[in-house]
Amino acid sequence: MPQDAFTLRLVAKELNAALSGGKINRVNQPAKEEVALLIYTGKRTVKLILNGNASACGAYFGGESAENPAAALPFCMLLRKYIQGADILGVDTPGFERILRFHLLCHSEFRETERTLVAEIMGKYSNLILTENGVILGALKVAPLDENAKRVIFAGAKYVPPLAQDKTDPSDVAALRVLLENCTGDVGDFLFRNVRGLAPVTAQAIAESYRGGDLAQHVHDYIFSDEISPRLIVREGAAADFTARGEEGVPFATVCEAQAEYYRRKRADGAFNALKRRLSAVLRNAKKKQEKQLQQNLEKQLSCRDAEENRVKGELLTANLYALSRGMESCEIENWNTGEREKISLDPRLSPAENAQTYYKKYRKQKRTVEILLPRERELRDEIAYLDSLIALLESAGEEADLKSIEEEMLSVGLLEAPKEKKRQARPEIPFRTYERGGMRIYAGRNNLQNDALLRRSAPEDIWLHAQRYHSCHVVIRSGGKEVPADVLAFAAGVCALYSDAHGEKIPVDYCPLKYVKKPPHAKAGFVVYSNFQTTLGDPDGIKN
């Protein structure tokens, strides 16, 4: 992200044009290092985000509404006291520094005062500082005297700008010429290491745009030109960067629009990934617990494997009571099932009949245990299979609606708890994934509840598809009783493959009319049985969300 002095100079120019004459109607601080200003420009209200976080530092417009904490943070209270209701006189940058200054005319009952909100956009050293007549009124990040002797930042101290980089000022063409006389190797790297206020990507762009002649003049003209061609750089479907002047990427009219879209996508991606990680952790922990219970179940069943032997021993002892006496520690009796003599251990303290009853009791206890364990084993295996289906849906989720639908299902089955402090508001129903091919509608469920709903809302003659031997979404082709063309069937099979746990491979997909698909009584959501099916290959390539 090139939040360097080159980019900020252009941002300041656009912010000055957009916000000058505007009024700060509201100040919020949704996060520890982020301030949001609601500004009425005379035509509309915009939200300006001032972020001091190292990974998202900058000044950019935001559209989405972040939830504010129940109690306002101290810096937010200070800004509300001093600048809420202020008029914006202008926005500029001091020299060629990574600093934005918002000049404000603040009103009170008795006087009008000019104050300056300074946004230092410097990575992990980013900060927001409110000053009046050069004196600090407050700061987002305070640096007391005992922590930093070179530069103090606290209320009442004189505001001192950050130390300038020990590099050449690009506004000084003569100094640039002297510097560039010693330029060796990669020009972009040399500019980054020796010229003030340039990010590596900007320095490299300057070097690549050079076509000969006076290099120092070219560097100066490139940096201080007002020419822009803002681009959002997208890699593998995610926002990777934005630039004020570029040739590749998604074009925007202004730098502010490009960076606003960059941060919007970055926030959305961050929220998407965070929710996905949270849901994945819950599902995998639940699966781990079920697998542990299944292992314990199987171990208990294993301990009952000799139940039939105990029954036979009880019968053999009962049939041979006449030949046994109290005090015997063992006996050998012919087993009529095998024809061989079998040695049976006895408790010498018990009578022969009591020893026989001991084996019978052990047999009955083991039999009752197995009768309880076998149904529980089936339940555990069904539960693990259900969790696997949710994990497969989660891993194939490509948009927020997919995650929200899975979250709703997890809430409905008790895998997640609804927040207790707030009443759950009714959420709008998340639609099926919908496609159209060859004049036919194709629907795919986003979660197991939607898979069941898709079956209920479809007609018996519609074509149902599901990945063979894999967990996948249910897909229905609304055929209206007509024959489904091969390309439509191939596309629907591709949707099954895409939203499965086959990880992007070509996989076999079963399909049949919906009338041959049945849901067994008491089955988990998304589980069905089907017959009269055929199989085709599903190719996920070319299928888009």
Q: What pLDDT digit, counting tens, does each position of 251-307 carry?
A: 999 999 999 899 888 888 888 889 999 999 999 999 999 999 999 999 999 999 999
Do the beta carbons of residue 271 and residue 263 sit within 8 Å?
A: no
Q: Would you tell me how many other CB atoms lie within 10 Å of the CB of residue 38?
A: 15
Of 187, 390, 172, give the one whose Cα is nearest residue 285: 390
Query: Do the bridges between strand 534-538 and strand 507-513 make them parallel or antiparallel, or are there none, so unpaired?
Result: antiparallel
Residue found by looking up tokens 């639940």 in the block: 286
Residue 545: band (very low, low, confident or very high) from pLDDT cuts 50, 70, 90: very low
Give the CA distances from residue 438 to residues 146, 175, 477, 485, 511, in Å, rounded to whole numbers and listed in that order: 73, 67, 11, 8, 18
Reported as a single tens digit per residue, the pLDDT across 476-510 is 999 988 999 999 999 999 999 999 988 767 899 99
End-of-domain residue from the set 387, 414, 444: 387
- Let me know whether 340 and 441 are in one domain: no
Opening angle at CA 321, ends 320 and 323, nearest 5: 70
Regarding beta strands 87-92 and 58-61, do their DSSP bridges make them parallel or antiparallel, or are they unpaired?
A: unpaired
Which domain, by its residues, includes 311? 304-387
Average pLDDT, the chain: 90
The alpha helices in 59-129, defined as continuous H runs, are 74-82
Per the structure, the count of domains in the chain is 3
Classify residue 204: in a domain, yes or no.
Answer: no
Residue 513 belongs to a domain: yes
Judgement on whether residues 440 and 523 belong to the same structural domain of the protein: yes
- 284 falls within a domain: no
Looking at 139, 155, 186, the residue that finishes a domain is 139
Tell me whether residue 295 is in a domain: no
Q: Is residue 273 domain-resident? A: no
Is position 69 within any domain? yes
Task: Choose the final residue of a domain: 139, 170, 204.
Answer: 139
Q: Are residues 524 and 448 in the same domain?
A: yes
Same domain, 438 and 382: no
Find the helix or strand (DSSP H, E) in which 389 lies: helix 352-395
Q: Residue 383's pLDDT band (boundaries 50, 70, 90)?
A: very high
pLDDT at position 66 over 70: no
d(CA 362, CA 342): 18
Residue 103 resides in a domain: yes
Residue in 210, 135, 197 with CA at minimum distance from that of residue 169: 197
Q: What is the DSSP letter of 530?
A: E
80 and 20 fall within a common domain? yes
Q: Which residues contact 14 (CB under 8 A, 6 or more apart)?
A: 254, 255, 256
Residue 88's SS3 state is strand
Q: Please write the tens of the pLDDT for every residue from 157-169.
A: 999 998 888 899 9
Tokens 């191939």 sit at which residue? 490
Closest CA to 229 of 207, 209, 249: 249
CA distance 484 to 514: 13
Give the three-class secondary structure for 368: helix
Residues 330 and 454 in one domain: no
Q: Rounded distance, CA 457 to CA 10, Å?
A: 54
User: Are residue 361 and residue 474 in the same domain, yes or no?
Assistant: no
131/25 same-domain check: yes
- Alpha helices by DSSP H, 428-539: 448-456, 486-498
pLDDT in tens, 409-433: 999 889 998 766 554 555 667 889 9
Distance CA 255, CA 32 (A): 26
> Under a CB-based contact definition with an 8 Å cutoff, are residues 508 and 535 in contact?
yes
CATH code for the domain of 97: 2.30.310.10
Do 133 and 39 have their domain in common?
Answer: yes
Which is it for the CA torsion 199, 201, 202, 207, positive or negative? positive
Is 20 part of a structural domain of the chain? yes
Please indicate, yes or no, whether residues 21 and 105 belong to a single structural domain of this protein: yes
Summarised one tens digit per residue, pLDDT across range 306-320 is 999 999 999 999 999
pTM: 0.69
Same domain, 381 and 456: no
- Whose structure tokens read 């500029």? 92
Q: How many CB atoms lie within 10 A of CB 408?
A: 18
